[in-house]
Chains A and B, each alone.
Chain A
Amino acid sequence: MSEGHIIALAHQFEDLEQQREAASLGMWLFLATEIMFFGGLFTAYTVYRMMYLPGFDAGSHLLNIKLGALNTIVLLSSSLTMALAVRAAMLGKRRHLVTFLVLTMLLGLAFVGVKLTFEWHHEYVEHLAPGLDFDLNSPHAKGAELFFVFYFTMTGVHALHMIIGVAVMAVLTWQAIQGRFTPERYNPIEMAGLYWHFVDVVWIFLFPLLYLIGAHH
């Protein structure tokens, strides 16, 4: 073992392989926790969609499916750049790593930006924000209101996850610029990648459940 390895190795581990496996297992377990966290929301969503089917369709119909699709593509692209960032880290290509990390952050911010300015703001102005200002002239207003409760909660929690992800990545980018990652030690990048892809996967389900169910009306 060379000097560099020992510096990267925390004292409780025997070797780097063990350390990396531990980190990876820990991350996957954390994602399992996240699945159950969003799972509780999905369960509640399912129950109320069954109760208020027309209301949920009506609510969904009020969303902008084009923006939803656009944001889906933005987020999928950020997943691609993230995967490429991890690959660059594996190969030790520092310039590429930094570039892809920055791209990922920008795409992530673009997603949140679209969400905030063109969607949430718009919906608030249209009196579609339950609890703050909800006024919908529809026979299904009650179901639609519940739909919007879930819409804001789910997208809000999701966006919060994105913002945390971007913050983590900002730190990683800084460290990458300083050359803290090597082909032997790129764990943090890989873990951040897993997290980011997971957030993407959540959106992959939010998109049909929120935007698509009412599109055919």
Chain B
Amino acid sequence: MWFGFPLRPEQASTIAEGIDNLYYFLTAIDLFFTAVIFLTIFYFMVRYRRRSQQDTPEQIEGSLPLEILWSVVPLVLVVVTFVWSTSLFIRNARPPEAATEIFVVGKQWMWQLQHPEGVREINELHVPVGRPIKLTMTSEDVIHDFFIPAFRVKKDVVPGKYTSLWFQATKTGQYHLFCAQYCGVSHALMRGEVIVMEPQDYERWLSGSKKTNSMAASGAQLYDQYACITCHGAGKGPAFNDLYMSKVRLQDGSTVTADETYLRESILFPSAKIVEGYPAIMPTYKGQLTEEQILQLIAYIKSLGTTERKAAQE
């Protein structure tokens, strides 16, 4: 705050303070050197102003010690900044183990969000305070970008792949949600609110909201509706139990981890990666499933067990 005027957005997430500290440090460096340069120039301009056209200043060739000094000082500063910034980034990049996963689909020009319990929202995201939330995001059309200034988080939402970000709110309240990647005519209207609530309020809100099936249950329905079981339950295709995050051996001998991107690709482009020991008979579901439905199927597969925890325990 500066004369009652905000200079930074509210610090409403666990990472906000750390980022602000780095920001203040950089601002201090910036102001310090700008002041040094401006004042020096100003001083020189006055002190050594031209007094007559016949002035003949003494010529100075340069100074190696000075050159070294003003190469090394910036070097040290940027190394410090790099180390600080990068370690902060690495620490922030890692979501806590028990993060609640919320799914986000961006499309021109709205945000569709779905809670694991099945509650859907548009351009509004309700979350409980003090709990880590992980967003898994994709886009139906162009690149969007999910940005919550108060949480200091931002990530592009890219068609054709999953990106993710996580946060843990520290303060109840209402915060802006922006699309930060230009996405067409109504880009500036692709905004929303993040509403951070006390956990019990959040539970009340969840139970009071019109609920559809949970993500996984909707996925299970799709699994039935598209009769996936004919193959994937009968040995003609790979089974889904404990599939998520496991290592899958492919026909060509390579191995992939069965993450969201792999699962999505296998639904839309089944022939891209053929699992070893199975024929390439699966048809594509491209055009039949929306991004949201794909996410539901993935949630269903995840609910059938995951090797992620096992791996972490090992």
Contact = CB atoms under 8 A, between A and B. Distances in A.
A142 B252 contact: no
Please classify the interface of chain B as helix (H, G, I), strand (E, B), loop, or mixed, using the class held by over half of its residues.
loop
A139 B272 CA distance: 7
B116 to A, nearest CB: 31
B274 interface: yes
Given A140-B271, A141-B271, A143-B272, 12 more contacts: A52-B272, A53-B252, A54-B252, A55-B272, A138-B271, A139-B271, A139-B274, A139-B280, A140-B272, A142-B269, A142-B271, A142-B272
Query: What is the predominant secondary structure among interface residues of chain A facing chain B?
Result: helix
Interface string B242-274: 000000000010000000000000000101101
A126 B252 CA distance: 28
Interface residues of B, number: 6
Interface of A: 52-55, 138-143
A143 to B, nearest CB: 7
Contacts of A53: 252
Contacts of B274: 139
Contacts of A139: 271, 274, 280
A141 B286 CA distance: 14
A104 B52 CA distance: 70
Contacts of A142: 269, 271-272
A194 to B, nearest CB: 41
Contacts of A138: 271
B272 to A, nearest CB: 7
A42 to B, nearest CB: 23
Interface in B262-293: 269, 271-272, 274, 280
A142 B272 CA distance: 8
Contacts of B280: 139
Contacts of A55: 272
Contacts of B252: 53-54
A169 to B, nearest CB: 45
Nearest to B271: A139
6 contacts: A53-B252, A138-B271, A139-B271, A139-B280, A140-B271, A142-B271
Nearest to A52: B272
B48 to A, nearest CB: 41
A55 B271 CA distance: 10
Q: Which 4 A-B pairs have the closest CB atoms?
A: A139-B271, A139-B280, A142-B269, A140-B271
A138 to B, nearest CB: 8
A213 to B, nearest CB: 15
B267 to A, nearest CB: 14
A141 B272 CA distance: 9
Contacts of B271: 138-142
A148 to B, nearest CB: 17
Nearest to A140: B271
Nearest to A55: B272
Contacts of A140: 271-272
Most buried by A among B252, B271, B280: B271
A142 B280 CA distance: 14
A138 B272 CA distance: 11
